Structure formats: structure tokens, C-alpha cells
Amino acid sequence: MTGRHRSVVRRAAGRVRRTLRDAKAARHPYRRMDLTQLAQEFGSDKWGTHRYTPHYQRHFAHLRDREMLVLELGIGGYAREAQGGSSLKMWKWFFPRAQIVGVDIQDKSFVNEPRIHAFRGSQTNRALMRRIVKRYGAPTIVIDDGSHRPPHVIKSFAVLFPMLEDGGLYVIEDIQTSYWPDWKGSLDLDDPNTSMAMVKRLLDGLNHEEFLDESYRATYTDRHVVAVHCYHNLVVIEKGDNREGTNKRQVNRRWYQQMAQAAGRTG
């Protein structure tokens, strides 16, 4: 058998193994559970302490059978050694064809199993995120369940949102820390340095094409955030092409004429 033939046989065998694995997973009782049931099964606080799973079900259901990367920042289980990873198992069984990756500042390698892999490092480590993307491809879902401190949340978003694939979803959990000074948040609702302030800027950016300031230059998030869904302590951000065009010049013709006349007088 030639090398080419052996390669063809290996690929065919790999397809058969994946087909059998997918068929077996499809018959597993977990496969019939929704995210709330899976959270309860594995002990994830995404249901119970929080009420996130119904929102996740709404936004993630259409991706359930995709081959993709699901990346979660923060693995949990810090009270005792060798604990954590409940939500990674939940994601594994909700997404039977996905690679699940967790990132944590502590060693959580004990959670590693087929389709789950833990990396040790900071959630703001750009080099680490690039290494993960190089290995597994662009993530379709990113879930920030890391430190919950606004400086980390904001930097992680700046690092990872550009790496997210188009059509992907970026989730920020426990955003209530924006209001808590002990968590680097602020009592000032207008403080520009909180996670919620970043989300508010994204909402403005959704409508960047309507700004009348001709000197404004659209940011990456202006051009690529197409929706922001806000729930109690949870934000889901959709990525796509946010350049639909605008009729602002027709509707605001008089304003533009006034600006042109003012510029002529000062020119």
C-alpha cells in the first residue's frame, strides 16, 4: 500500500470513528437534557446561584450540533483542591461536537478529558489566546466567567472579540461587579472604567453610522458588534457586519447645510 493510499484509509477510518462517536453521544441521556438540566446534573452555578441557563439556551440552541470551539475563561472550584470544571462538562454534553477549552490562573488540568482541555494562564494573556486559536481555530462562543473585575473583563474583550468568528457570541457573566468598589467597580453609574460602561459604549457603537460628527472614525467593535442582549448580571454580544448604511444626510439635510455654511464662514 502506498503512502497516499494509507492516508486515504486513515482519513476514512477517522470519519467512521467520528460517526460512531456522534451516534453514541446522540443516544446518551444527557443529549436529551436542556442547559438547566445539565447545569443541575453537573453542579454548575449557572443555574441556582444564577439564572443564566435559560438565556444560554435561547442564544446557543441553534449552535448545538456545530463543530466549533467553546472557550470559557475561569474554571472555578477554588474552595478545595481538584474541584471545578462543572460548566465545562455541561458545555461538552450540550455541544456534542464541540471542543471545550477552559482557561484559569490555577492548574485545572485534572478536568482534561476527550473534548475538554484546560490551559493555565491569565484571561488577559494575548499570547495564550493566540496559541489556543492557532491550535483549535477561532472560537464560536467565548464565555467570560473569570475574575469578574472590570479591568480584566475589558481587556479580555479587547483581546478575544477580534479573534471570535463572525456569527459568534461573546458572553460576560456576573457584570454586577461593575457596581462594587471592592471588585474594581464603582458606585458612580457614569464611571467610564467599568464593564457596564464598556457595554453602554457598545450600544452607542451599534448606531455609529448615525453619528453626525464627521470626524468620528468607527472602531472595530462599532463595525462588528451587531447586537447586545442584556439580562440580570449577564450580557450576550453578537458578532457580525454592522455596516448597513444610513439615510442621515437626507433626513438631516438642513443640519448639514448649516454646518457647511459655518465652515465657509470660518474657512
Q: Nearest 5°: CA angle at 70, between 20 and 21?
A: 5
Residue of 148, 152, 208, 224 with catalytic role = 148
Q: How far apart are CA 110 and CA 118, in angstroms?
A: 8
Is residue 102 a contact partner of residue 72, using CB atoms and an 8 Å limit?
yes
Choose among 125, 94, 141, 95: nearest CA to 237.
141
Is residue 94 a contact partner of residue 35, using CB atoms and an 8 Å limit?
yes
Q: Annotated catalytic, 232?
A: no
Is residue 220 a contact partner of residue 162, using CB atoms and an 8 Å limit?
yes
Q: What are phi and psi of 104, to 5 degrees?
A: -150, 150
Q: How far apart are CA 115 and CA 36, in angstroms?
A: 21
Q: How far apart are CA 118 and CA 101, in angstroms?
A: 6
Q: How far apart are CA 89 and CA 69, in angstroms?
A: 14
Q: Nearest 5°: CA angle at 150, between 91 and 147?
A: 45
Dihedral (CA of 75, 76, 80, 83) sign: negative
Beta bridge partners of 78: none
Catalytic residues: 148
